[in-house]
C-alpha cells in the first residue's frame, strides 16, 4: 500500500525519571531511567510490524540495542520542550527506515495509573490483590465506553498499528468521538464471532470470573486466531505482570454500566464504565 507507515504514540514525561525511587527499580520496562514511557516496548512493536511486511531498511533502523538507542536519541532531539510539560510523540517509520514525528503537549497522569500494582475489582467483588496498596490507580477518569454499531473484519491492519486506520476512524465517527481528549472510547466488534477486538485507541479490560481479562491477540498475524486487535504496549505490560489474562469477551455478554479499564501508552490505565446504546 503506497504511503503506508508504521507508528506508535509515546508518552514523554520527566516524571517518569522518578519511577526507580517512587515506584520500583524493576517495573518491567526500559532498562535505564527514561522519560519515554515503555520505549523498548514501542520499539518492539514497530520492529515486529516491519518484519511482517519485510521492510528491510526499517528493520535495520529499529533492530538491536543500536535501534533502541537511535529511537531514544530521535525523541530527545525532537521533544526539546519536555521540561515544561508532558508530551505526546507519535513516531512514524516508513519502509525506507525514515523516522518522523507528530508531537504536542498532553495532560499529567499519576504514576500509579502508569504503573499500577493491580487493577481494583469492581465494588462488591472480592479483590484478592487489595493488599497491594502501594500503586492503586486512580479511578477518577470515569471514561464512557461505547460499542461500535458496526462490525470490523480483522486484518493485518488491526493486528499491527499503521497509518491505515479507516476502521478506527469510522468507529469513532459513529460514536461521535471528536478528539483524543474526549472522555469516551468505542470498542470495535469482530465481524466473525461478535467478540470485542479492542478500543479505537486503547486496550480494554473486563471483569470476568474474578479477574480482569482482555481480548486475545495472536502472537503472529493469523486471521484464524485471536480476536483481531493489536498487542499494545500497556497491554503487554499488564499481561507480563499478571494484572490481566487473555479471554474472549462477547458483545452480547456486556452489561450496561459495568466497570472496566482501558489503557494506552499515552494515559496509562484508565477507569471507565460500559454504556450500551
So what's the pLDDT on residue 20? 80
> 105 to each of 15, 87, 160, 223, 265, how far by Cα in Å?
14, 4, 25, 37, 14
- Given a contact cutoff of 8 angstroms between Cβ atoms, the answer to whether 6 and 161 are in contact is yes
Written as one string, the DSSP assignment of 53-119 is: HT-HHHHHHHSHHHHHHHHHHHHHHH-GGGGTS-EEEEEEE-TT--EEEEEEE-----HHHHS-S-P
Average confidence (pLDDT) per 10 residues, the chain, 277 residues: 92 91 72 87 97 98 96 95 92 98 94 92 74 72 91 97 97 92 94 97 97 96 92 95 96 96 96 92
So what's the pLDDT on residue 129? 60
- Given a contact cutoff of 8 angstroms between Cβ atoms, the answer to whether 11 and 88 are in contact is yes
Give the chain's domains with CATH numbers: 6-105 (3.30.470), 111-274 (3.20.10.10)
Q: What pTM, to 2 d.p., does this model score? A: 0.94
- With CA atoms as reference, report the closest residue to 84 among 12, 32, 23, 22: 12
So what's the pLDDT on residue 130? 57
What angle do the packed helices 39-53 and 233-240 form, to 10 degrees?
Answer: 110
CB atoms within 10 A of CB 4: 13
Q: Grid coordinates in use for 200? A: 479505537
So what's the pLDDT on residue 21? 76
So what's the pLDDT on residue 132? 54
Measured between alpha carbons, how far is 74 from 42 in angstroms, rounded to an integer?
13
Amino acid at each position: 500500500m503506497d504511503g503506508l507507515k508504521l507508528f506508535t504514540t509515546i508518552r514523554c514525561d520527566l516524571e517518569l525519571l522518578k519511577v526507580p525511587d517512587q515506584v520500583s527499580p524493576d517495573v518491567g520496562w526500559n532498562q535505564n531511567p527514561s522519560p519515554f514511557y515503555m520505549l523498548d516496548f514501542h520499539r518492539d512493536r514497530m520492529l515486529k510490524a516491519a518484519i511482517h511486511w519485510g521492510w528491510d531498511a526499517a528493520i535495520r533502523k529499529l533492530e538491536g540495542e543500536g535501534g533502541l538507542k537511535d529511537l531514544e536519541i530521535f525523541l530527545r532531539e525532537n521533544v526539546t520542550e519536555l521540561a515544561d510539560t508532558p508530551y505526546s510523540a507519535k513516531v512514524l517509520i516508513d519502509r525506507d527506515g525514515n523516522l518522523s514525528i507528530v508531537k504536542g503537549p498532553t495532560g499529567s497522569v499519576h504514576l500509579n495509573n502508569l504503573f499500577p500494582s493491580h487493577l481494583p475489582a469492581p465494588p462488591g467483588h472480592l479483590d484478592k490483590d487489595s493488599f497491594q496498596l502501594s500503586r492503586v490507580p486512580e479511578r477518577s477518569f470515569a471514561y464512557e465506553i461505547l460499542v461500535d454499531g458496526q462490525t470490523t473484519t480483522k486484518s493485518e491492519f488491526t493486528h499491527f498499528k499503521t497509518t491505515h486506520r479507516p476502521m478506527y476512524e469510522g468507529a469513532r465517527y459513529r460514536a461521535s468521538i471528536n478528539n483524543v481528549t474526549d472522555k469516551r472510547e468505542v470498542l470495535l466488534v469482530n465481524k466473525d464471532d461478535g467478540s470485542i477486538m479492542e478500543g479505537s485507541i486503547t486496550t480494554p479490560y473486563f471483569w470476568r470470573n474474578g479477574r480482569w481479562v482482555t481480548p486475545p491477540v495472536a502472537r503472529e498475524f493469523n486471521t484464524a486466531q485471536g480476536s483481531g486487535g493489536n498487542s499494545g504496549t500497556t497491554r503487554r505490560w499488564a499481561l507480563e505482570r499478571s494484572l490481566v489474562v487473555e479471554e474472549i469477551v462477547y458483545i452480547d455478554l456486556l452489561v450496561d454500566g459495568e466497570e472496566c479499564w482501558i489503557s494506552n501508552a499515552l494515559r496509562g490505565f484508565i477507569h471507565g464504565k460500559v454504556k450500551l446504546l
